[in-house]
Amino acid sequence: MKEILPGIYHWVARHPKIRIEVSSYYLAEEGVLIDPLVPPEGLDWFAKPPRHVLLTNRHHYRESGEFAARFQCTVWCVESGLHEFKHGEKVEPFRFGDALPGKVVAIEIGALCPDETALHIPKGAGLVALADGVVRDDEGPLSFVPDEYMGDDPETVKAGLRKSYRRLLEREFEHLLLAHGGPWIVGGKRALEEFIEAEPRQASMSFW
């Protein structure tokens, strides 16, 4: 568990299903978790109980149920992703554009899947949490998720993601919180802008 900015924590844990390390985040003052797995320190690390879990897409429920059971957290997912939850998970819907707990705003990304969401966090210089469209190998450059995860027409998906990320750049933020890969602290907005404007052949790499 690492404090990457005042009151904002990041940790990496191995996903039990896809068996790779993924990133989770905690906004301590707001009591908000983003795409959480249980950290290596365990749930006892949270001296102040978290109150809400925000998902950047339906696949990032991860171990939210353990947080909900322990701390009675409310789990939130955009309404277009609720069909995923068929096994008794208690998940509340939100719509794109909604203001969520912690003054976080849900922004539609789409393209990769209908529920692909960015979370704009108006804290300090501003942060954006991204789901699966853009990934990072540890602390390397940004890249698109590999083509094999983009369906039958990866280039159309990439074009859609670029369009959505350009709209995202209209908002004020400095840092990127990635679900796959390390966070980009300071310069994250510039890195995203340079990435989406790069030649297509330069903007994709193997991640998994």
Q: How far apart are CA 133 and CA 81, in angstroms?
A: 16
Q: Domain 2-132+172-185, what fold?
A: Metallo-beta-lactamase; Chain A (3.60.15)
Cα 41–47–48 angle (5° rounding)?
130
CA angle, 119 then 124 then 128, to 5°: 20
Q: What is the pLDDT of residue 200?
A: 60
Q: What is the pLDDT of residue 15?
A: 86
Do residues 79 and 54 lie in contact, with contact meaning Cβ atoms separated by under 8 Å?
A: no
**CA 73/CA 53 separation, integer angstroms:** 7
- The residues pairing with 136 across neighbouring beta strands, listed in sequence order, are 142
Per-residue model confidence as pLDDT tens digits over 139-167: 899 999 999 989 999 999 999 999 999 99
Contact 34, 11 (CB under 8 A): no
Structure token pair of residue 178: 């990635």
Q: Strand, coil or helix: what is 193?
A: helix
**What was the pLDDT predicted at 92?**
97
What distances in angstroms separate CA 58 from CA 44, 103, 191, 196, one per listed residue?
A: 26, 21, 26, 24
DSSP string covering 100-122: EGGGEEEEE--SSSTT-EEEEE-
pLDDT tens, position by position, 43-90: 999 999 999 999 999 999 999 999 999 999 999 999 999 999 999 999
Statement: residue 204 has pLDDT above 50 = no
In this structure, the chain runs to a length of: 208
- State the pTM of this model: 0.94
Instruction: Name the residue ranges covered by the structural domains of the chain.
Output: 2-132+172-185
How far apart are the C-alpha atoms of 136 and 129, rounded to whole Å? 13
